[in-house]
Structure 1
Amino acid sequence: MPEHIKKKLLEEIRLLEHELTHELPAEIKKAVALGDLSENAEYHMAKQRQEFVNARLGQLKKRMGDLALVNLANIPKDRVAFGSTVLVYDTNKDEKIEYKLVTSEESDVTKGLISTTSPIGRSLVGKQVGDMATVVTPNGNRELEVLKLTTIHDEAE
C-alpha cells in the first residue's frame, strides 16, 4: 500500500475514533440532561452521528485490510493495472489523454488520476498497447485505444 494513502486513512481513523470516544459521548450526555429524549433533536442528531462514525470506521478499517493484501508482484508487467500510466486515443473526442490508475482514495480526474474501480479504469484494466476499450457512460459509449503503457514495474526501475 502506498505510504501516503496509509497515512491518510490512519489519520481519518484517528480523528473518527477521537470523535467517537470523546466528543460524541459529551454531546449525548449534554442532550440527555435536557430531558425528554423522545422529542430531543440534539440527542437524536448525536446518536445518528455516532452510528455514522461507527459505520465509517468499519469501512476505513476494512479498506486498510484490503489494501494491505495488495501484492505488487502480482500486478502484470505487460497489461494495464493498478499503478499504470496509460496514453489513450479517445475516438469520440479525437484526442489523446493520459491516465494513471490509482486507488479510489487517490483519484483526481482533473490531474488524470483515475481509480481502477471507475468506469474508465475498469474498461482499461487488462488491456495492452493496441487494444480498444469501450467505456459505458450515461452519454453513450466511448472508445479508447491504448497507445502507450507504463506499468508500476517500469516506473520502479
Structure 2
Amino acid sequence: MKQAIIKKLDAELLISQKELQVDIPKVILTAREHGDLKENSEYKAAKERQTFLQARISLLQKRISDVTSLDIEKIPRDRSGLGSTLFLTDIKTGKEKQFHLVFPEDVDPDAGKISPGSPVGKALMGKQTGDEVMVLLPEQKIEYEVINVKTLHDKSEDDN
C-alpha cells in the first residue's frame, strides 16, 4: 500500500520536474522571442505554469517524505485506521455499505475509497465492530452500525 503510493508520487514528481526543467524554459524562451513581455499571454501563462510546478514539486516531495516516514506498525490493529475496510449497516434503511480508508491519492468515492480526512473518513476512524457512527454531511445525517472492521494488518495476514 505504502510503496504503491510512493511509486505513484515519484512518477508524478519526475514528470513535473521534467516539465519545469526542460519544457517550460523552452516555452519561456520562445515567448520572449515574440517581443514585449508585458502583453505576451504566452509568456505569462508559462510563468504561471512554472510557479504552479514549483509549488506542486514541493508538495510532492513533502508528501513522499510523509508517506515514507509513516510507520505501518503504529496503525491500530484493534480498530479502524488508514488501510482499514469497514462494513456498515445504515441504521435507518438497513442498507449495507462498505468503505475503505485510503491515502488521499487513492480516493475514489464511487468505489467506496475515502480519505481519513473526509467527513465520512473522520467519523469512521478509530471505530470497532458494534460501534454506532453518526456521519454529518452538509445536507443529511446518516447513522451506521459497524458490522465488521478489517484492518490493514488483517489484510496483510490474509495475504500470507
Residue identity matched to 1:131: D
Corresponding residue of 1:150: 150
Corresponding residue of 1:101: 101
Question: 1:83 and 2:94 equivalent?
Answer: no
Secondary structure of 1:88 counterpart:
strand
Corresponding residue of 1:54: 54
Equivalenced residues, count: 157
Query: How far apart are the structure 2 equivalents of 1:88 and 1:98?
Result: 6
Please, what TM-score do these two structures have when normalized by structure 2? Answer: 0.93
Shift of 1:91: 2.6
Farther off after superposition, 93-102 or 57-66: 93-102
Residue identity matched to 1:36: D
Shift of 1:93: 4.3
Query: How far apart are the structure 2 equivalents of 1:39 and 1:56?
Result: 26
Query: How far apart are the structure 2 equivalents of 1:53 and 1:144?
Result: 42
Question: 1:9 and 2:9 equivalent?
Answer: yes
Corresponding residue of 1:21: 21
Query: How far apart are the structure 2 equivalents of 1:90 and 1:109?
Result: 17
Cα gap change, 1:31/1:150 in structure 2, threshold over 3 Å: closer, same or farther?
A: same
Runs of 4+, deviation exceeding 2 Å = 91-94
Residue identity matched to 2:43: Y
Residue identity matched to 2:114: I
Cα gap change, 1:94/1:45 in structure 2, threshold over 3 Å: closer, same or farther?
A: same
Query: How far apart are the structure 1 equivalents of 2:42 and 2:50?
Result: 12
Shift of 1:81: 0.3
Q: Gapped runs of 5+ residues in structure 2?
A: none
Please, what TM-score do these two structures have when normalized by structure 1? Answer: 0.95
Residue identity matched to 1:113: K
Q: What is the CA RMSD across the aligned residues, in angstroms?
A: 1.2
Secondary structure of 1:83 counterpart:
coil
Query: How far apart are the structure 2 equivalents of 1:22 and 1:135?
Result: 47
Shift of 1:41: 0.5
Shift of 1:94: 3.1
Cα gap change, 1:30/1:93 in structure 2, threshold over 3 Å: closer, same or farther?
A: farther
